[in-house]
Every structure is written in structure tokens, then in C-alpha cells.
Amino acid sequence: MNPTPAIAPMTAATLTPPRAVVDGIGLSISDEDYLRFREYFYRETGIYFENGKRYFVDRRLLERIRLTGSDSFHDYFLFLRFQDRGEEMQALVNAMTVNETYFFREEYQFRCMVRDLLGDLRSRRREGETLRIWSLPCSSGEEPYSIAMYLLERWPAIDQVDVEIIGSDIDSRILAQAREGLYQKRALMQLPTSLQQRWFKPQADGQFRIDDGLRESVRFTRLNVTDPLQMAAFHDIDLVFCRNLLIYFDEASRRKAVDLIFEAMRPGAYICLGHSESMSRISPLFKVRKFADAIVYQKPL
């Protein structure tokens, strides 16, 4: 990857306030370390840490330095970059991502999906052709499982159409949780009680286990949305939910991610963004479509 980031210049002077963080046992991350790390992590993942994220980043870095037994940031950074199999990079990514999500988040888009989008998409498919829906990023699975639930509960045509739901995320730990399908009560708060009762089994420890059929209806894969090689494996997607991801990227990564997603979509396919994200500032490739429940973006036919 060789992005040319449209981001703030990487100088220690841009950090406010300039400082070094020292933890309880004397490890420290200087301003210069922080900037080098930020640049590296950005190139690898597309995630850009604003200066205000310094504390968040430092805490997690210091934890990884301790857990790997490194003597200093310098040792750790060498280990991170030159470790053959990239396991530490994955552990670090897992520590740095923000995985906040819940069932039926921004439900109006699921309503739009069953009222307007699926009928249109289906009308352009040949008999027996699979409709492919992609939750990218899917975090711990609440989004793709909500899609599956919505289809089963609210889309009468589900019996006549073959639908594939894919959930992808860069965070391997959160994907393991998604596959497991065990949730805390608060993840279910937006779900009507009838759906909670139908699709979840309360566990002795207070968690809720998702129904096996639902669990098996989603295919989870690890993926970095800014990596062209990894993205090239995906194609013929009909509907993308790309919600609350682009807010963590800078402009250049947003454009890159959206261009790669565009390539993976069929002509006429739709993409839904999070409520605070707008395609108009990122890419001119999509048509804006206004439906009764939501504004979504469409790849031209």
C-alpha cells in the first residue's frame, strides 16, 4: 500500500499539548514515537488518529509493549514491523479498533431495505440468482444478524430468493465474537421483546445466545477495506451496509475504501452509510437515491 494521505503534517508541533506519556513502570511514548506509529498504523489500516486520540492510542500501545515483553517503544516498533506472520499487528489492530454496535442500529435503513431496495434488486436478478448483502464492517455481528432477522421477519419474498449475507471486519477478535453469537443484554435493547424472545436464548450467566439458524446464515470474513488485494476477492455485491467506519478514516482512506467497495458492487447495487457519513464529500461515483425511510447511494446501472 502506498497512500498519499491528505492529513495534517506529521510534526511533533502539531500535537496538543506536546508531551510524553509515562506509565507506572517507566515505559514512555514520546511525541516522535507517537507520530511514527500514527503514520505506520495509518498506512496499514487507513485508520487515522487525530491528535485528540493521543491518550487512547498511548494506553493501548503501552499495554501491547508490556504484553509482548518489549523493553521500549523502539523495540516494540521493530518487532511489530518485522514479525514474519504479522500476529502482533493483528493484536494491535484488535486493541485499537472501536467496535461499538448493537442490534437494529439505524433501523430505518433496514426498513428501506425491505420496502424499496430488495424488490428493485430482485427485479434485475435472473431466477435463482443469489442476492448478496455485505455488512462491512460488521463488528461483533449485530448488524448482519439484524439484516438476517429483518429479512426473515419482514420480507415476505424471502422464501423465494436465495440471499447470502457476508460480515467483514479488520478485527479478528471481534469476528470470533460475531461467530460465537453471545451477547450482553444491552446489545439487544433496541430489539422488540417479541424478537428477543424468538431469536435469543438467555444463558445462566446473563448473556443471550443467538439462534443457531440465524448464526449460520451469516458468513464472516476478516478484511481490511483499504487493502486492494483483499478487496479484490469480493464481487457481485447487491447491497452494502458500510456504517460507522468512514468516520475513523481521513479523506484519502475514505476515498480509497469507497472506490474499492464500488468495484465490488454490481451495477444498480446500493450502499447505506452511517447517519453522520455522506457520500457527497467522498465520491461522485454514486447516484443519491431518496426513499421514504432513508437516503442511500446507488452504483449507476
Ligand X SMILES: C[S@@+](CC[C@H](N)C(=O)[O-])C[C@H]1O[C@@H](n2cnc3c(N)ncnc32)[C@H](O)[C@@H]1O
Contact residues for ligand X, defined by CB under 6 A: 45-47, 97-101, 105, 137, 139, 143, 169-171, 174, 223-226, 243-245, 248, 274
Task: Report the residue number, 256 or 299, with the smaller CB distance to ligand X.
Answer: 256
Shortest distance, CB of residue 211 to ligand X, whole angstroms?
20
Shortest distance, CB of residue 300 to ligand X, whole angstroms?
25
Task: Report the residue number, 84 or 100, with the smaller CB distance to ligand X.
Answer: 100
Distance of alpha carbon 275 from alpha carbon 95, whole angstroms: 25
Task: Report the residue number, 58 or 143, with the smaller CB distance to ligand X.
Answer: 143
Shortest distance, CB of residue 83 to ligand X, whole angstroms?
20
In this structure, what are the phi and psi dihedrals at residue 220, rounded to the nearest 5 degrees? Answer: -100, 135
Cis before 17? omega within 30:
yes
Task: Report the residue number, 15 or 223, with the smaller CB distance to ligand X.
Answer: 223
Task: Report the residue number, 33 or 143, with the smaller CB distance to ligand X.
Answer: 143
208-210, strands of its sheet edge to edge = 182-183, 208-210, 200-202
Closest CA to 38 of 12, 65, 2, 68: 12
Shortest distance, CB of residue 220 to ligand X, whole angstroms?
12
Shortest distance, CB of residue 17 to ligand X, whole angstroms?
28
Distance of alpha carbon 240 from alpha carbon 271, whole angstroms: 5
Shortest distance, CB of residue 98 to ligand X, whole angstroms?
5
Distance of alpha carbon 150 from alpha carbon 152, whole angstroms: 5
Question: In sequence order, which residues have a C-beta less than 8 Å from that of residue 67 and are 6 or more positions away?
Answer: 91
Task: Report the residue number, 27 or 242, with the smaller CB distance to ligand X.
Answer: 242
Q: Do 144 and 151 form a contact (C-beta atoms < 8 A)?
A: no
Task: Report the residue number, 217 or 226, with the smaller CB distance to ligand X.
Answer: 226
Residue identified by cell 491528535 is 51
Shortest distance, CB of residue 19 to ligand X, whole angstroms?
27
Residue identified by cell 452509510 is 273
Shortest distance, CB of residue 34 to ligand X, whole angstroms?
19
Residue 202 in grid coordinates: 438467555
Alpha helices (H) along 83-201: 87-96, 107-112, 118-123, 142-154, 172-180, 193-199
The alpha carbon of 176 is separated from its chain's Cα centroid by a whole number of angstroms, namely 14
Residue 294 in grid coordinates: 432513508
Residue 64 in grid coordinates: 501491547
Residue 138 in grid coordinates: 460488521
Task: Report the residue number, 90 or 99, with the smaller CB distance to ligand X.
Answer: 99
